[in-house]
Structure 1
Amino acid sequence: MVISDALPSDYQLHLFHEGNLFESHELLGAHIITLEQKQYTKFSVWAPHALEVRVVGDFNGWKGEGYSLHKVNDEGIWMITIGQNLEGELYKYEIMTTDGERILKSDPYAFYSELRPHTASIVYSLDGFQWEDKSWHNRKLKRNILLDPIAIYEMHLGSWKKKDDGGLLTYRELADELIPYVMELGFTHIELLPIVEHPLDISWGYQGTGYFSPTSRYGTPHDLMYFINECHKNGLGVILDWVPGHFCKDAHGLYRFDGSYLYEYPYANDRENPVWGTANFHLGKTEVQSFLISSALFWLQYYHIDGFRLDAVANLIYWPNQEGKIENRDGIEFLKKLNHVLFSYDRTILMMAEDSTDWPQVTAPVDCGGLGFNYKWNMGWMNDVLTYMETPPYSRSNVHEKMTFSLLYAFNENFILPFSHDEVVHGKKSLLDKMPGDYWQKFAQLRLLLGYMIGHPGKKLLFMGFELGHFSEWKDKEQLDWNLLDYDMHRKINEYVKELLKIYKKSKPLFELDHDVHGFEWIDVDNKQQSIFSFMRKGKSGDLLVFVCNFTPTVYHDYMVGVPQDGSYREILNSDAGSFGGSGVLNKKVLHTTDIGFHGKPYSITMSIPPFGVSILRPVKHRKERKGDGKEKVRSHAVGRRKRK
């Protein structure tokens, strides 16, 4: 039956078909409604090329007779209101196509789905969860994410850790185990590989069917709300990997939903992704825009998530299956519209583009001609740095520019520096195993790589398992090799990560001016013979840190480094410390400057350079310098300080 009070307004319908109904999940899908103290279940679906649509499920023995939906408008919205509360019931839409086919489809707007390999949708009310994260959101409103430290722990829920019987941890169990672990490491955010409902485990969620349905592999929607709520209560942001470009072609999903190419492009060359076996969304179709933008807004509204990483943005900017780069105006305009809508709803979110192209102004606001993201993954930096690190140490002078090129464009966009899941799977080796050399050298170079990453401008992202010193690449069907923490070197790399992130988060020069050319300065960029790089990171108030990185196993003593300030410097971290598994070539004493200019700087220090090591130095502030009371700053006279010769 159709109840007039449950019908959508003409304005809602107009907005949906216009591409501007950004809460279309309230119009379409399955909803429990109350009218005159009686509960009903309303089903609505968009299927313009269907001859007839019925809803079938457990409640009617999967027989559609008597459960036909009424066609509300000529553009293909169908609706039925059933006189009972069907919460928890399985259902699908039985669609009779113009070709005479009878097909069964899951609800594109379902809030919950049956556990794979089953594919039915489930009537589910999202009401009732008591959020306790108001203080988290209030703190976000007072901060500026461009000026804050951001360290993201990227992870796949199904393979982080498993139960004793090999089963998957639930969202609630993950909250109990994952949150304290990530907090202890020192990360600021967790990024989840896609958790929209998806039929195939090994797709990792990138080939989805339920864009409003968190996967039931780990529990219910309310269980996911609990997980995110606990993250926020403990000061952790939650980012979702989200795929607006393409979807899987399983028969129960969006593909040829009503017998026509409804959600996807009509022409095979535009539609098909042969490598992934997926279909591209028709981003120029207004109803698809309403669907996708509503999906993103839905996760913000109902799950309080803190942002998105958009997968395969290059596949949206340019048409697939074409020779050369041909701009896809549908995709470009969709991205601008998406970002404009989401930032209008919540200005504090992270919108990160996984973009391998050189498209300009990805992170510029839409009203300034940009795509509207506030962050972009620096794929070029990632590829260059890993190429450099995989080169044998004494051949690195031949690829020296791989480590310097990124600073030519580091401030053109707001960048995230990623070592993501894509770099540690499919034969690419783990981060540790990419490092050349023997057992000790691999660990030393991993510590060096992570230290260099912390010093380089840009926010940070690392995929789970790196902190254990994984020798094997990511095994998506198994849990991380937690037993590695029983071994000395693996335990020490774990401690190194904690100390590195601790220094990162408390040192303003490492994040305040990530996107400002004034936040970075080379000291020595040209020493390709020794493969030693030195540079400074600077904060807004003039605070600075000095990084010295040695990418060979050679040890140097009495190595001179130019510095900009007179006084003394203290080594606050050395990756070669014995507590981290290093050989112990440290600078334990305060390093005093001389008035000998070097590296184009007015002063210099002399220090020891550890093998495959990174040293972080901080100028020593004395009592009146630390007060910051506006009075004249004075330096104490350091004992033994060298005078001008």
Structure 2
Amino acid sequence: MTKTLPHSLFTDFDIDLFRAGKHFRLYDKLGAHSVEVDGVKGVYFAVWAPAARSVCVIGDFNDWRQGVNELLVRWDGSGIWEGFIPDAEKGMRYKYRIHSFNNDIITEKADPFALYCEHPPQTASVIWDLDYKWKDKSWMDTRKDKNGLDKPYSVYEVHLGSWRLNAEGKFLTYLELADQLVAYVKETGFTHVELLPVMEYPYDPSWGYQLVGYFAPTSRFGKPQDFMFLVDKLHEAGIGVILDWVPSHFPDDAHGLGYFDGSHLYEHPDRRKGYHPDWKSLVFNYGRNEVRSFLISNALFWLQHYHIDGLRVDAVASMLHLDYSRNEGEWEPNIYGGRENLDTISFLKDFNEAVYSNFEGVQTIAEESTSFPMVSRPVFSGGLGFGMKWMMGWMHDTLKYFKRETIYRKYHQNDLTFSMTYAFSENFMLPLSHDEVVHGKSSILGRMPGDEWQAFANLRLLYSYMFTHPGGKLLFMGSEFGQWAEWKFDGSLDWHLLEFSFHEGARKTITDLNALYRNNPALYENQFSPEGFEWISHDDHQNAVISFVRKGRNPKQDLVVVCNFTPVVRTPYRIGLPRKGRLTEIFNSDSAIYGGSGVGNPKSPKTEKKEWNGRAFSSEITLPPLGVVVFKLS
């Protein structure tokens, strides 16, 4: 018979699930929970620390004195310590003081399951609750109809601390962002926002990717309920919310998860698997069941308690490959002699199955930069189970192509067309993310060749090509209006640039591209299927022109897309067409309203029964310089 405290939140079944790596609601058990025991109100504390000799809770309720509030270890061998403190209440700070069996080490640790944390650089956990009256029932009830793979997925990636500063040069709060950010995203037409990690982190220059408080939104911008309010307002505006989630590594800060109970509890004990050389951080032990329960519980926590619509999983490639950023001799092959991390593969499959089986209408997205197969294919068919995967190859090839002077582009057309040879091997999202505008890479606009007019024309051309290419879309903040400078995490975007016509024209282009994407099923219904794309011509290297058809479920809604990657007006330019009809220009990136030259096709060219590009019908059109034109064929 298991001996437990009378007020323990754990059952024997909980312990069995925890040990098996299948307890995905650990946040209901571990951590600090306000309860009432025998009519006395207080807080139940529970922490996993199997290598501890003793554990006590220190905090505001006992003047941070050790030994006053000792926890008891469960007698079932789970390594869980628990206890009830009647004087503790919401808002009080606390830590666990852990005395380890290993070399008598004594550490003071923040609660891994804390719901709220002190503002960095302070490091204590704060007793809190998740009480909030949500107002997004309409969104949640219909989310599956808005967040599916056959729906538009245009993502605005945001770092909350540097999107905009207030008049005093300070962060906007969650409440201020709920007003300003929501209005901006709504106006610009993005369907989703993706937030760089909001979980508590100690070090600003990490951009949030070195997490300590996995269950607590950072206190930099306000309280947990304030963050809920931000999500609520985004949902009210019809905007989905994606969080960056970082199960790939964590920092070794003294108050964090590292060496938590004097042993390698969360991190892998073998440094070849437990330390990340690029980020100087620790790597989770994905083969330890209790760690798997912790991580998957954390993923489900944000979906349940914060109504999050998707998780973008960071650095998946580093998790999957044992030799990632490691030289020969610095890694050990798996039991089959390969470089794949078998524990990670198993963990990611469990994670995706848990997410999709517990929550309707959500998506998981992998930042995976290699050719690892079937990342976004179901687990039951041998895949990892993600909904989407970032198309890093498209990003690298496309930016390399656009950086070239236009006179040389005809020699490198394969950089553009190669993506279509593998575009449907995964459910790809096209990312122009924060990683592409830092560390000397320049901004997206800064990569564009030519004078100011050509640089902006190229920028509009790039975005128009991106939005008509199959797949989801992601654009980092500031790129939508042509930020010249690289992103700085400790500053603000250069919003004053919108006073200038070229920059406002770039923002207007993105706004209209988002509307084009949302309003035309041909661009999203089959965006992850070869049925949604057909080349017209990909081999006009001499003119640096490509043309294709985007197709939805209704052939009458098909769109014809023609891209001219040089500053030369091409007229007349003949393209082959799938059927007889009239072309109506519905988008032109060279429009004068965007700052372009205004060259286009106002008279809706007719088709002729003249074979071209292997098709029975064709039409002569005008191609604007450094422009994309999109037609409906009716």
TM-score by length of 2: 0.96
Q: Which amino acid aligns with 2:49?
A: A
What's the CA shift for 1:393? 1.1
Q: Which amino acid aligns with 2:15?
A: L
Match of 1:629 in 2: none
Q: Which amino acid aligns with 1:616?
A: V
Residue of 460, 467, 470 corresponding to 1:457: 470
Q: Which amino acid aligns with 1:341?
A: A
What's the CA shift for 1:216? 0.5
Measure, in 2, the Cα distance between the counterparts of 1:441 and 1:405.
Answer: 25
Match of 2:126 in 1: 122
Q: Following superposition of structure 1 onto structure 2, how do residues 156-195 of structure 1 map, counting pairs within 5 Å? A: 156-195=159-198
- Determine if contact 2:61/2:88 at 8 Å carries over to the other structure: no
Match of 1:469 in 2: 482
Match of 1:624 in 2: none
Match of 1:411 in 2: 424
Q: Which amino acid aligns with 1:593?
A: T
Q: Deviations over 1:441-500 (max 9, x none)?
A: 100000000000111000111111011211111111111000001111111111111111
Match of 1:603 in 2: 617
Match of 2:335 in 1: none
Residue of 517, 529, 536 corresponding to 2:530: 517
Match of 1:268 in 2: 271
Measure, in 1, the Cα distance between the counterparts of 2:80 and 2:113.
Answer: 13
Residue of 112, 116, 136 corresponding to 1:112: 116
- Determine if contact 2:147/2:363 at 8 Å carries over to the other structure: no
Measure, in 1, the Cα distance between the counterparts of 2:480 and 2:147.
Answer: 28
Q: Deviations over 1:378-418 (max 9, x none)?
A: 11111111111111111112221111111111111111111
Residue of 499, 503, 507 corresponding to 1:494: 507
Q: Following superposition of structure 1 onto structure 2, how do residues 313-462 of structure 1 map, counting pairs within 5 Å? A: 313-319=316-322, 320=324, 321=326, 323=328, 326-462=339-475
Match of 2:222 in 1: 219
What's the CA shift for 1:105? 0.6
Q: Following superposition of structure 1 onto structure 2, how do residues 190-205 of structure 1 map, counting pairs within 5 Å? A: 190-205=193-208
Match of 2:64 in 1: 62
- Determine if contact 2:147/2:362 at 8 Å carries over to the other structure: no
Measure, in 2, the Cα distance between the counterparts of 1:597 and 1:137.
Answer: 51
Could you say what the CA RMSD is over the residues aligned between the two structures, in angstroms? 1.3
Match of 2:599 in 1: 585
Match of 1:30 in 2: 32
1:507 aligns with 2:520: yes
- Which runs of 5 or more residues in structure 1 are unaligned? 621-645
- Determine if contact 2:376/2:389 at 8 Å carries over to the other structure: yes
What's the CA shift for 1:97? 1.6
Q: Report SS of the residue matched to 2:116.
A: coil
Q: Which amino acid aligns with 2:32?
A: A
Q: Report SS of the residue matched to 1:159.
A: coil
Q: Following superposition of structure 1 onto structure 2, how do residues 597-636 of structure 1 map, counting pairs within 5 Å? A: 597-620=611-634
Match of 2:49 in 1: 47
Q: Report SS of the residue matched to 1:498.
A: helix
Q: Which amino acid aligns with 2:248?
A: G
Moved over 3 A (4+): 141-144, 322-325
- Quickly say closer, same or farther: Cα 1:145–1:385, change in 2 above 3 A: same
- Determine if contact 2:15/2:78 at 8 Å carries over to the other structure: no
Q: Deviations over 1:296-325 (max 9, x none)?
A: 011011101001000010111111435497
Q: How many residues align?
A: 618
Q: Which amino acid aligns with 1:122?
A: V
What's the CA shift for 1:82? 0.7
Measure, in 2, the Cα distance between the counterparts of 1:141 and 1:400.
Answer: 38
Residue of 148, 153, 173 corresponding to 2:151: 148
Q: Report SS of the residue matched to 2:250.
A: strand
Measure, in 1, the Cα distance between the counterparts of 2:575 and 2:10.
Answer: 71
Measure, in 2, the Cα distance between the counterparts of 1:497 and 1:220.
Answer: 33
- Determine if contact 2:61/2:87 at 8 Å carries over to the other structure: no
Q: Percent identity?
A: 47
Measure, in 1, the Cα distance between the counterparts of 2:72 and 2:182.
Answer: 47
Q: Report SS of the residue matched to 1:617.
A: strand
What's the CA shift for 1:541? 1.0
Q: Which amino acid aligns with 1:49?
A: A
- Determine if contact 2:248/2:283 at 8 Å carries over to the other structure: yes
Q: Following superposition of structure 1 onto structure 2, how do residues 58-97 of structure 1 map, counting pairs within 5 Å? A: 58-73=60-75, 74-97=77-100
Mean CA deviation greater in 584-593 or 314-323 = 314-323
What's the CA shift for 1:48? 0.8
Match of 1:13 in 2: 15
Q: Report SS of the residue matched to 2:185.
A: helix
What's the CA shift for 1:5? 2.7
Q: Report SS of the residue matched to 1:554.
A: coil
- Determine if contact 2:31/2:114 at 8 Å carries over to the other structure: yes
Measure, in 1, the Cα distance between the counterparts of 2:34 and 2:418.
Answer: 57
Measure, in 1, the Cα distance between the counterparts of 2:234 and 2:344.
Answer: 33
- Determine if contact 2:150/2:525 at 8 Å carries over to the other structure: yes
